Structure formats: structure tokens, C-alpha cells
Amino acid sequence: MLRSPLPGSSRATSPHPPKTPQHNHENDAPPIPGLTVPELQILKSACLAAKERAYCPYSHFPVGCAILTKPNNLNSHVTPQPSPPNIIDGANVENASYPVGTCAERVALGTAVASHGCRKGNFRAMAVVTDTVGIPGSPCGMCRQFIAEFCEPSMPVFMYNKDGDYKVMTVEQLLPMGFSMDALHSNQGDHSGEKPSTLQVP
């Protein structure tokens, strides 16, 4: 699996730095309101641990991913108590038939959806870590589309390199004008007046 390098990481030098937030210290204030420093540290630790479980004998490029979900208060009549952040993680799983392999982001999101019943609106943040030096690795194009299916456009994605430096972008920044269910619905107009197509047989 090829990862997408990000220009303008926290270690890159450029006379015109990008406008997206960049941080290279864990104690920096998170750029996204509603996400605390301890939550970000737990998210990072979870994706680091997931990376160690990656199955990548072909690329030798381990990737770990962790997702922070919103609290699931099943008993709405009970006053919610403070609890540790809800974290779901995943790692890349490769295959001798290369296209069959699955990226860490899709493993984590697939687990969240299939095993925990998560849906769009249930996710607060994602973290991805690779062993890249300098510029952090970012989700591939297929994963960006997969993330956009289940995560809000404003959700932050933290991308860490080997040294712990990171860059953060929103889902919308990673995939502007992404394909969505809205596009499918916009193509389902009223076709009642159209004549059915016929197959011309010679």
C-alpha cells in the first residue's frame, strides 16, 4: 500500500506554510474544539499500539489507526458518569494477492460499524501513525473515501510520523468534493414519463 505524503508537515520548511493547523508537541492545545489534550494522547497511544499488530510482510510498512467515538449512553434516564474515551483501533492487514489487503483506517472503521454499530455522526476524531520520517503519511485515496462515508466533514484526522510529530486536517480537507450518498439521490429524479429502453436484436 502506498501512503500519500503530506507537503508542509511540521518539519518541512517553506516560505509559504499551509493554512492547515500543524503541531509537533503533544502538549500543544488541540486545534479542534471539544477535543482535550488527554484524549489526543490516548488516541495517539492507541494507534501506536495498533501499529505494532500490523500484518505487513510484503510492504514492511506498518500503519496503526485509532478512532475516538462519542459516548453511547444506552440508558438515557441515567445521568452519564465520566468514563475513559471510547477508542476503536485497527492496523493494516496485507495479502499475497496485494489488492486483497486492507488499510488500517478501513479495518478500524469497519470494526466500528460492524462490531459496535457505529454510524455517521458517532465519531469525534481519528489518528493514523506510520514509520515515515519527516513528512507524516496520510490516508490513501480509497481510505479517504471510506472515511468520508462514516465521518463528518469537520472531523479531525491526526497524522503522526515516526518521531511523534503530527499534522491535522479535517475530513473535508483530505477529500474535498468527495462522492457521497447525496450524489446518488440527486440522480434519482422522476423518470415516469420516459419510455423504457429496448434491446435491439439483429
Nearest to 19 by CA among 11, 7, 29, 27: 7
Cα–chain center distance at 86: 16
Provide the sign of the torsion angle of the four alpha carbons 90, 95, 98, 100, taken in this order: negative
133 is in an annotated binding site: no
Q: Is 24 annotated in some ligand binding site?
A: no
151 assigned ligand-binding residue: no
72 annotated to bind ligand = no
Residue 58, annotated as binding a ligand? no
Q: 107 among the known binding-site residues?
A: no
The answer to whether residue 105 is catalytic is yes
3-state helix, strand and coil shares in percent for the chain, rounded to the nearest 5: 25, 20, 55
If you count DSSP H runs as helices and E runs as strands, how many of each does the chain have, helices first? 5, 8
Please tell me the distance from the alpha carbon of residue 88 to that of residue 81, in angstroms, as a whole number. Answer: 20
> What cell does 176 get?
474535498
Is residue 55 annotated as involved in ligand binding?
no
Q: Is 118 annotated to bind ligand?
A: no
- 201 SS3 class: coil
Burial environment of residue 152 by CB neighbours within 10 A (0 to 12, 13 to 18, 19 or more): middle
Single out the catalytic residue among 105, 149, 172, 194.
Answer: 105
92 is in an annotated binding site: yes
Annotated binding-site residue numbers for Zn(2+): 103, 140, 143
Q: Which residues are catalytic?
A: 105
Annotated binding-site residue numbers for substrate: 92-98
Annotated binding-site residue numbers: 92-98, 103, 140, 143
